[in-house]
Amino acid sequence: MARSTAWKRYNWRVVWLSLIYAAFLIAAVYGFKHAMIPAAFKYLVAVLPALPIIGIFGAMGRYLVEEQDEYVRMLMVRQTLWASAITLSLATIWGFLESFELVSHIDAYYVSVVWFGGLGLGACINRVMLGSPAAC
Amino acid sequence: MDNRLRLLRAERGWSQQDLAERLEVSRQSVNAIETGKYDPSLPLAFRIAELFDRPIEDIFVSPSRHSSKAI
């Protein structure tokens, strides 16, 4: 399937943001591990790896604005809705399980990981429900 | 929504890809519209109608008329 210009732009943005994420994460982990971060900058450095991830959410929004093919855009909107529904449901379930001390604590940033996984699952659901040839 | 897109396309000897290029959409969009899995927006429906030089209602079957006939 030929990919649109908007999709190619989205992929480039995600690749760059992923590289920036890796660089920020390595730098933050190294800095904290070797106690190199001054107290005044600890919050800033800790937040640095989150910024490119937020950027990827922004890139997704930008893609939805730039995509000219309304059917393909609708497929992606469905994927993001499925991803959000799955992530929020799992986070809510896990929150209650954790409150009643039935499961161990999970760092909140895993919500993003589950959401990206939910996008893949959303593509599969699109394929089953609409027969769309999106990668699944 | 039922439509006559496949028939009109076949009359002109166009493939789904040919039609997709003329409409500036993906082939999967054409396929989804032809099979009734996706209802195009009004602007896209107008583009389709103008491409085939026919009124929209010649191409797309009104869901309300379709259901009233069924009754």
Range A60-66, long-range pairs (CB < 8 A, 24+ positions):
A60/A10, A62/A9, A62/A10, A62/A13, A63/A6, A63/A7, A63/A9, A63/A10, A66/A5, A66/A6, A66/A9, A66/A10
The pLDDT of residue A131: 80
Residues B25-54, mean pLDDT to the nearest whole number: 95
Most distant pair of Cα atoms in chain A: their distance: 54
pLDDT of residue A12: 97
Tell me the whole-structure pTM to 2 decimals: 0.84
CA distance A121 to chain B (A): 20
What single-letter amino acid sits at A21?
Y
**Residue B70 pLDDT > 80:** no
In terms of C-beta density within 10 A (0-12 exposed, 13-18 middle, 19 or more buried), how is residue A44 classed? Answer: exposed
Tokens of A110: 């895993």
Mutate to test the interface with A, among B15, B18, B24, B29 (most CBs of A within 10 A): B29
A91 domain-assigned: yes
What is the domain count for chain A?
1
Whether residue A135 lies inside any domain: the answer is: no
Confirm whether A136 is domain-assigned. no
Percent of chain A with pLDDT over 90: 90
At A38, give phi and psi (nearest 5°): -65, 145
Domains of chain B: 5-70 (1.10.260.40)
Predicted ipTM of the assembly: 0.84
Is A16 among the domain residues?
A: yes
> What is the mean pLDDT of the segment spanning B10-30?
95
Query: CB–CB of A72 and B29 under 8 A?
Result: yes
With CB atoms and an 8 Å threshold, state whether B29 touches A70: yes
Query: How far does A116 lie from chain B, in Å, by closest CA?
Result: 24
Cα–Cα nearest to A122, from A109, A107, A135:
A135
> What pLDDT is attached to residue B68?
58
Which range marks the domain in which residue A64 is found?
5-130
**Percent of chain A scored above 70 by pLDDT?**
95
Per-residue pLDDT band for B65 (boundaries 50, 70, 90) equals confident
CB contact under 8 A, B28 and A2: no
